[in-house]
């Protein structure tokens, strides 16, 4: 059976796209090939790793990667997770891909105490999880 290739894109591939990548791998029942990338590679955000560990998912081995035009061409789903990536995603020469935008606030821009920042990370994590669960349930 052909696994659908899902490509999550964000600005820096450090938080939101990494969280989405981790959840779809964990919740997708092996039905998807999952990749994530950014317009730039900002490195894996340690707080994203921490909140995913709280959810029982280890993304500590993920790498922060720049968008690969070959993967873009092969993707079945191209999903941007921030407005900047949606606006600046390279032109995609791929007629079969469904392109979606799921906008989430950037938890890396959160300010305040460590507790307040982690609260923002958890809120974004839980919102992304809800959206991934819906994606899987809809059988995309």
- Pick the catalytic residue from 9, 39, 49, 82: 82
What pLDDT sits at residue 85?
62
- Pick the catalytic residue from 10, 85, 97, 124: 10
78 has pLDDT over 60: yes
95 band by pLDDT with thresholds 50, 70 and 90: confident
Q: What is the CA radius of gyration of the chain?
A: 14
41 has pLDDT over 90: no
Average pLDDT over residues 105-118: 95
Confirm if 4 and 96 have CB atoms less than 8 A apart.
Answer: no
Q: Does the annotation mark 89 as catalytic? A: yes
46 has pLDDT over 70: yes
Q: Does the annotation mark 10 as catalytic? A: yes
Structure tokens at 12: 């820096």
What pLDDT sits at residue 102?
92
Average pLDDT over residues 85-105: 75
- Pick the catalytic residue from 55, 89, 92, 118: 89
Strand, coil or helix: 44: coil
> How far apart are alpha carbons 61 and 38 in whole angstroms?
17
Average pLDDT over residues 59-78: 92
């Amino acid at each position: 059976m052909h696994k659908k290739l899902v490509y999550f894109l964000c600005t820096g591939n450090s938080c939101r796209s990494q969280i989405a990548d981790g959840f779809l791998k964990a919740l997708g029942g092996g039905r998807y090939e999952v990749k994530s990338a950014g317009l730039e590679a900002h490195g894996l955000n340690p707080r994203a790793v921490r909140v995913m560990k709280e959810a029982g998912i280890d993304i500590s081995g993920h790498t922060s990667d720049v968008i690969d035009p070959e993967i873009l061409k092969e993707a079945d789903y191209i999903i941007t997770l921030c407005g900047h990536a949606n606006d600046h995603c390279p032109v995609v020469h791929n007629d079969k891909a469904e392109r979606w935008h799921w906008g989430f606030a950037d938890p890396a821009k959160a300010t305040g105490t460590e507790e307040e920042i982690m609260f923002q990370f958890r809120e974004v994590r839980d919102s992304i999880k809800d959206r991934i669960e819906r994606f899987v349930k809809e059988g995309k």
